[in-house]
Structure formats: C-alpha cells, structure tokens
Structure 1
C-alpha cells in the first residue's frame, strides 16, 4: 500500500467502524427500551383494580425518571472520568452486539436448510411465559428471546411475522395485567389446526 492510498484506507476503515458502532447503538437502544417497557408493565398487580393496580408501573416510571435525572446531573457536573466511562461502556456493549449479530448471521447461513423450532415448541414457550395470565405480549416474548441470545436485532414486527408464518394468531390489543398491547392469547392457542409438515416432524429443533 502506497502512502497516497493510506489516508483513503484509514478513512474507509473509520467509516466502517462508525457504521458498526451506529448499528450496535441502535440495537442496544432497542433492547434497553424493550426490557424497560416490559419491566414497567410487569409492575402492574393483577390482584388489584383501578388506580391501585397502576401504582406499580407509575412508581417504576418515577424510578426510571429519577435515575435519568441523576445521570443528567452527573454529566452536567462535568465529572469527566464518569462521562468517558459511560461512553466507553456504551460503545463497548454496542460493538459486542454487532459481533453477536454477525456470528448469528454466519451460523444461520452455515445451517442452510436446517429446520427451525417447531410450532409446538413456540406454543409451549408462549404458554410458559403467559403463566396464569390470559396471554403474553410480543414485547415480553422478544425480550425473553434476546436475553437468551436469540432474535438479535429483531423488532416486534419481525416477531409477529414469524408467528403468523407458523399460523399462530396475534391479537393487536391483548390486555395483560391491564395493559393492552400486541400479543398472543392462550385462548387463541387452544384448538389450533395442525401445521402441514410441522406437527409430525421429528427433526424440529427445540432451539426456542
């Protein structure tokens, strides 16, 4: 490589690094928002009604607001070591997430036509997450999958499309713990018609 080409190569590498960091930051932000939203929603108590049942989510929102205010005040105080530490932590996590997403894409490509999880496995997971509630929100299911290293970079829409491909009906407004969001009800899972090629497949992976 000649000296004249060196600045171009450095610039291209810097652009690739910035693009990777931006992609990882967006993925990290989506994961944090999904988990925080699920954490706030789970604060609602099913044994209470009215404003008492909403106290849990409101208190958790207030706690998050106080935490954001505290971080903002610390940043305004110009504590440089804290600012740089938070920036480095965010950048390192975002960079690692892009590596995980790339490894997952390579594994999926190498797998080729390897069968994915069967619909029975997905239904079992949905029932487990629903527990004694009438169903489970897609945001809860997505957060669970991402906590176990799956569905990296997915949004609720991606998950909905995959569930509908398995002929699992998704309700636009399923009320769980008093919160109406997109989800799958346990009633809809009862009596589902068999999926051609899925119900008797012995090679279906229980990866879910």
Structure 2
C-alpha cells in the first residue's frame, strides 16, 4: 500500500497544482480584457468577449470528444503526464529550506525596473495590465489587480502614468524614458514585489 501511496500523492498534488494554475491563468487572461480607460459595462466588454471565446472553446472540445471518443485517452494521458511532472516539482519545492511564515525576498526598485524593461521589450512603453498578466503567467501576483501593482510601483518610486497609450489605448502604464532615469532611494517597507525571475 505504501508503494502506491507515494505516486498517488504525487499525482494528486500535481493535478491540484495544474488545476489551480490553469484557473489562475484563465482568470488573468479574462481580466486583461478589462479597459481601465472606460467605466461601467463598456469597461468589461473585453472580459465578456474572452469568456465567450472560452465557452466556445469548451463547447468545441466537447463536440470533438463526442465525435472521437478515443481522444479522451490522449487527453487523459497528457494530463496525467503533466500532473506527474508538476507533482515532482512541487515535492522538490516543499523541501524545508524556508520557514512557512518567512516572507519571500523583496527585490529592490532596480530589479523591478529591469523586469519592466524586459516585459517592455523593444517598445517605449507598456501597460500595467500587460505587466500583471506577465507576472500571473509566471505564478506571481495571482488574485491581484492593476490597482495593487500601481500602488506597489509607486511605493518603490517607479513612475507610472495613467495616459500611457499602447496600440491606441491610453491607460495606466510605464514609459522607458522614466525607467531609465536615475532611481530614487529605495522605498522603505515595500510589500512583496514582482520577481524578475521568469
């Protein structure tokens, strides 16, 4: 029984982790459809459109499985393999190197500026919702909003502007010229920051 308990625990842990990641990334993708430059129902039109795309995708997958039932074997095998890998990584991460109540390291303002420049790429500016989506795709800042990110960047002394226009849409963002300016003295008592690690 003990022989089977370990792989079963690994599969269960991996399945739970995959489900949470998938849910968090889906929610983050839907949230990025919200327009911060609009108010009321118009601001959420992008979110509803993305929800409709997800619903359509689920319906098409269901129709495909109904038409080709053997596809379930392939999907089940892919999920099991992914859960097995995720369960292994989670087990390694749970090694007691750090006390549970110990806060993760807080990167300084320069590390955050480098992260913003990396997300910006070759562009001259980037929206905060794009930065937040990038962080949430890397399992960071889950459940937080652009407002949280904006407040945190402000505490770190990173300049943010509500009229940054990307692809013709003005909203909260950062500009390269502001990030390349000399950084102010490190902000004190900053909350956990986005890590530059991908």
* TM-score normalized with structure 1 length: 0.56
Q: Does 1:12 align with 2:12?
A: no
The reply to whether residue 145 of structure 1 matches residue 138 of structure 2 is yes
Deviations 1:135-194 (A, max 9, x none): 965xx4652434xxxx7xxx848xxxxxxxxxxxxxx8x5x3xxx7x5452333337644
- CA deviation after TM superposition for structure 1 residue 125, in Å: 6.0
What RMSD over aligned residues (CA atoms) do the two structures have, in Å? 3.9
Cross-structure match for 1:4: none
1:188 corresponds to which residue?
155
CA deviation map 1:46-91 (0-9, x unaligned): 454443332211111011011122323444x273321111111111
SS of residue in 1 equivalent to 2:138? helix
- In the alignment, the residues of structure 1 paired with residue 53 and residue 196 of structure 2 have an alpha-carbon distance, to the nearest angstrom, of 38
Q: CA deviation at 1:18?
A: 1.5
Q: Deviations over 1:9-52 (max 9, x none)?
A: xx222222111111001100111111111111112234544433
- Residue of structure 2 in register with 1:80 after alignment: 69
**Aligned equivalent of 2:33:** 43
Report 1:49-60 matches (<5 A): 49-60=39-50
Query: Is it true that 1:71 corresponds to 2:38 in the alignment?
Result: no
- Summarize deviations over 1:102-147 as a string: whole Å, max 9, x none: 34456x84xxxxx95633355336755694449965xx4652434x
Larger Cα-atom Rg:
1
In 2, distance between residues paired with 1:141 and 1:134? 9
| 1:21 correspondence with 2:14 | no
Aligned residue in 2 for 1:33: 23
Q: 1:87 and 1:124 mapped to 2: Cα distance?
A: 42
Are 1:91 and 2:80 an aligned pair? yes
- The DSSP-based 3-state class of the residue aligned with 1:118 is coil
Cross-structure match for 2:192: none
Is the CA contact 2:18–2:83 (under 8 Å) kept in the aligned structure 1?
Answer: yes
8 Å CA contact 1:24–1:97 kept in 2: the answer is yes
Determine the C-alpha separation between the residues in 2 that align with 1:53 and 1:64: 19
Q: Tell me the TM-score normalized by structure 2.
A: 0.58
Gaps of 5+ in 1: 1-10, 110-114, 158-171, 196-204
Distance in 2 separating the partners of 1:207 and 1:117: 12
